[in-house]
Chain A
Amino acid sequence: MDKIVTIAINDLRVFLKDRSNIIFLTLVPLVMTFIIGYVNGGGFGGGSSQLRVDLLDNDNSELSAQFIASLKEANSSLMLCPADNDENDGCNLGDNARLTREQAEQRVKDGDTLALIEIPAGFGAAVESFQPVSLTYVSNEDFTAPGFIRQAVDAAALRVNGAIVAARVGTDVAGQIEGITLDAAGQAAFTQQVYDRAAGIWAANPVNVAYELTAQQESSTGEINLQSGLAQSVPGMGSMFVMFTVFGGMTLLVIERKQWTLQRLVSLPVSRAQLIAGKILSRFLLGILQFAVVIAMGVLMGVNLGSDPIAFILIVLTYTLSITALSFALGTQLQNEEQASGLSLLLSLALAPLGGAWWPLDIVPEFMRTIGHISPVAWAMDGFNQLAFFQGGLGDVLLPVGVLLAMSVVFFVVAVSRFKYE
Chain B
Amino acid sequence: MTNLVEVRGLVKTFKRRDGTEVRAVRGINLDIAQGEVFSLLGPNGAGKTTTISMISGLLAPTQGDATIGGFSITKQPMQAKKLLGVVPQEIALYPTLTARQNLDFFGKMAGLGGKELAKSVDEVLDFIDLKDRQKDRIDTFSGGMKRRVNIGVGLLHKPQLVYMDEPTVGIDPQSRRRILDTVIQLRDEYRMTVLYTTHLMEEAQELSNRVGIIDHGEIIALGTVGDLIQQIGEEDRLIFSVGEQQIENDFLQQFEAIVGITKVTYQSRELNVAPGLEDSAELVIAKKSTGTMVAVRSGQVKDGEIVVYAKRGRKALPELLRIADDAGVNIFSVEVREPDLEAVFLHLTGRALRD
Are A269 and B105 in contact, with the CB atoms below 8 A? no
Interface centre among B79, B106, B108, B113 (most CB of A within 10 A): B108
Output the nearest chain B residue to A5 by Cβ-Cβ distance. Answer: B108
Q: How far is the CA of A267 from the CA of B161 in the complex (A)?
A: 12
Residues 235-266 of A, flagged 1 when their CB comes within 8 A of B and 0 if not, give 00000000000000000000000011101111
Provided the pairs A3-B109, A18-B96, A261-B92 are in contact, do residues A267 and B78 lie with their beta carbons within 8 angstroms?
Answer: no
Q: Let me know if B58 is at the binding interface, CB within 8 A.
A: yes
Residues 55-92 of B, flagged 1 when their CB comes within 8 A of A and 0 if not, give 01111000000000000000000110110101010111
Q: Let me know if A389 is at the binding interface, CB within 8 A.
A: no
Are B91 and A267 in contact, with the CB atoms below 8 A? no
Q: Let me know if B350 is at the binding interface, CB within 8 A.
A: no
Point out the residues of chain A lying under 8 angstroms from B105, CB to CB: 6, 10
Q: B92: which of A3, A7, A260, A269 is its contact (CB, 8 Å)?
A: A260
Q: Let me know if B153 is at the binding interface, CB within 8 A.
A: yes
B161 to chain A, nearest CB (A): 11
Q: Let me know if A202 is at the binding interface, CB within 8 A.
A: no
Point out the residues of chain A lying under 8 angstroms from B275, CB to CB: none
Are B96 and A266 in contact, with the CB atoms below 8 A? no
Q: Which residues B252-311 have CB closer than 8 A to chain A?
A: none
Are A422 and B90 in contact, with the CB atoms below 8 A? no
Point out the residues of chain A lying under 8 angstroms from B328, CB to CB: none
Are B109 and A265 in contact, with the CB atoms below 8 A? yes
Point out the residues of chain A lying under 8 angstroms from B90, CB to CB: 259-260
Output the nearest chain B residue to A10 by Cβ-Cβ distance. Answer: B105
Output the nearest chain A residue to B156 by Cβ-Cβ distance. Answer: A268
Q: A13: which of B58, B82, B91, B97 is its contact (CB, 8 Å)?
A: B97
Provided the pairs A6-B109, A10-B105, A259-B91 are in contact, do residues A267 and B81 lie with their beta carbons within 8 angstroms?
Answer: yes
Provided the pairs A260-B92, A264-B153 are in contact, do residues A269 and B56 lie with their beta carbons within 8 angstroms?
Answer: no
Q: Let me know if A270 is at the binding interface, CB within 8 A.
A: yes
Q: Let me know if B214 is at the binding interface, CB within 8 A.
A: no
Are A266 and B57 in contact, with the CB atoms below 8 A? yes
Q: Let me know if B94 is at the binding interface, CB within 8 A.
A: yes
Are B94 and A261 in contact, with the CB atoms below 8 A? yes
B143 to chain A, nearest CB (A): 15
Point out the residues of chain B lying under 8 angstroms from A10, CB to CB: 94, 97, 105
Q: B58: which of A270, A271, A422 is its contact (CB, 8 Å)?
A: A422
Point out the residues of chain A lying under 8 angstroms from B84, CB to CB: 267
Are B58 and A266 in contact, with the CB atoms below 8 A? yes
Point out the residues of chain B lying under 8 angstroms from A177, CB to CB: none
Provided the pairs A269-B78, A270-B109, A421-B58 are in contact, do residues A264 and B96 lie with their beta carbons within 8 angstroms?
Answer: no
Q: Let me know if B241 is at the binding interface, CB within 8 A.
A: no
Q: Let me know if B225 is at the binding interface, CB within 8 A.
A: no
Q: A267: which of B86, B97, B111 is its contact (CB, 8 Å)?
A: B86
Output the nearest chain A residue to B79 by Cβ-Cβ distance. Answer: A269
Are A269 and B81 in contact, with the CB atoms below 8 A? yes
Q: How far is the CA of A6 from the CA of B90 in the complex (A)?
A: 23
Provided the pairs A269-B82, A271-B78, A422-B58 are in contact, do residues A263 and B88 lie with their beta carbons within 8 angstroms?
Answer: yes
Q: Let me know if A173 is at the binding interface, CB within 8 A.
A: no
Interface centre among A6, A260, A270 (most CB of B within 10 A): A260
Residues 219-254 of B, flagged 1 when their CB comes within 8 A of A and 0 if not, give 000000000000000000000000000000000000
Q: How far is the CA of A421 from the CA of B92 in the complex (A)?
A: 14
Q: Let me know if A1 is at the binding interface, CB within 8 A.
A: no
Q: Let me know if A14 is at the binding interface, CB within 8 A.
A: yes
Q: Let me know if B101 is at the binding interface, CB within 8 A.
A: yes
Q: How far is the CA of A269 from the CA of B110 in the complex (A)?
A: 6
Q: How far is the CA of A267 from the CA of B90 in the complex (A)?
A: 14
Output the nearest chain B residue to A7 by Cβ-Cβ distance. Answer: B109
Provided the pairs A6-B109, A264-B88, A267-B56 are in contact, do residues A17 and B97 lie with their beta carbons within 8 angstroms?
Answer: yes
Point out the residues of chain A lying under 8 angstroms from B149, CB to CB: none
Output the nearest chain B residue to A272 by Cβ-Cβ distance. Answer: B77
Point out the residues of chain A lying under 8 angstroms from B45, CB to CB: none
Provided the pairs A7-B109, A259-B92, A270-B109 are in contact, do residues A422 and B82 lie with their beta carbons within 8 angstroms?
Answer: no
B157 to chain A, nearest CB (A): 8
- 22 A-B contacts (beta carbon < 8 Å): A2-B113, A3-B108, A3-B109, A10-B97, A10-B105, A13-B97, A13-B101, A14-B96, A14-B97, A17-B96, A18-B96, A259-B94, A260-B88, A260-B92, A263-B92, A267-B56, A267-B58, A268-B109, A269-B78, A269-B79, A269-B82, A270-B109
Residues of chain A having any CB pair with chain B under 8 Å: 2-3, 6-7, 10, 13-14, 17-18, 259-261, 263-271, 421-422
Can you add 11 more A-B contacts, CB < 8 Å, to A259-B95, A267-B57? Answer: A7-B109, A10-B97, A14-B94, A260-B88, A260-B92, A263-B92, A264-B88, A266-B58, A268-B86, A269-B81, A269-B109
